[in-house]
A and B are shown apart, each in its own frame.
Chain A
């Protein structure tokens, strides 16, 4: 998912009877499945946690343009190029909806950018991995958009109205992306030997980072417990990861590709596939900034922002002039 390890208040969830009346009424609305809107009263912790989560998601969409954008100029056909362009455009659009959702909570897009550029805010670990061959574009759609959907489909029911509505729009497009990604994988996996090799190589590299997208097990996390009580998180990380593995394994089998984990096998008793947990040390290193592309990704975003300062300022100056001229009339 695009939001990982979002910190909440850091306190245990309080029982309804321990809450002040206002907070209790708020929690009861959530329990009843009502949507919270920006003008409604909300606990400060709810607001802050949501800003963290939504902005992390927004940043992920924006940074996510880079690994895929990496192949636009090299896409192998005009149609593939057009599909990829449309996808990257969608991702930027997702970023835009999400920044708007965050803005309803009283934080501007510029402030959020500032947090991203300074390294204070995080984005999904997955986008710190490189796209090295064309099948990676297929694998990203299939696995990365696939994992994102696992998390975002339940979030359509999240308690915060603007976030929920953004998710509804986004989910439609993400499932489109996933199908297109899988379509590339089919062409590659059923193609020439060289293409098959690319497809397997892509799966080998993206399998583990995709599992990491869900974040480490959080069944004992107080942050997750609070977020779940507030319905800004609806499933545990392990639940979603299992769902993802269950969905993906048969798809890989259909492609004739091997999941790079020899422990993947159907467990009749559990009714799920068993699998090996990813290397969480690697995950924490990536989060800390030591992934293969952290520096490139951040440098690219900061450069885009700084190089574009004159453009933004020029437009502002023009708008001011136009306003002054209008006022003078």
Chain B
């Protein structure tokens, strides 16, 4: 029965733009967070800074005088930019030409005196999505593995690491770092592992996958041993590369993006297995970040099939590749949810209940809020709690302690609370 009553109070909601406050942008995620408000801990293993926004500031941490001057000379006083980087602007169509504002830019107001602007941005995203801890990766810098000037990766990654550890984490200790390793320079990677292993906030070490450095090369063995000795995980973070000749055949960003992310994981994980690295470093915990999940069962089946017929090419393997893969860790985003039965089979295949780690990828265009996991009808309550935080807490030795605000309080702070 339709009721005509006096006009109840209505509120107009504005179009979402690059200036929208993150907490308003993600208000629906906060409403969703009410359904997992009692979860012990929520850990997001992969969020990002669009480092070009803070590039002049990050470049002040470059320790090499020549590269530092080059960056300053290229920036000419500008605060944002991509001096020294090989992430060609114009080849990134990530925001679908302005259709996805949070990918395009972040021009929201921050509060003076409330810490670094980026720390505030990320605190808002964690509060809005109901996340306790969040690991921050760079964005364009993930292509540094393809930079022809190897010294740029070395010095720029070091500058980024210092910026996160010295400037950002002190302003928001819920942010964490998987130290970027300049994989072009294996000896320096070892030094960095030894230097940073005990620094608070550094929970492991990361390699950007977009590169042609084979992971089995003898020069990396000291590095794997050093990481293994710390007890902290080694993570491989994939990305895209539209300049690769194979991918340059693809004439749409989405087509390239769909294939390129999994491609680099496929290459490095295959090399990792065929060269018997799991048994050479049995205590080294390995995590594969981004690229979704659908590629993993594909690789398990392909490699098992080949290895059975060609064992002489992989004598270091004592079991089937799929068995090793089931003991590795993967992050969840971007979760392919378009066929729920295939997703269920995938999650069962990779032992998601113990091996899968939630990742949001915020603020990138294909981010997942935690509800991408909580709304899966086939997961048990235990599996959801594990994937959203308990698996990561165990792997990275994080406290199982709630530090996020209650969803209702976040909603109330923005005037979005409705009883």
* A-B interaction: no
- Chain A residues engaging chain B, CB cutoff 8 angstroms: none
- Chain B residues engaging chain A, CB cutoff 8 angstroms: none
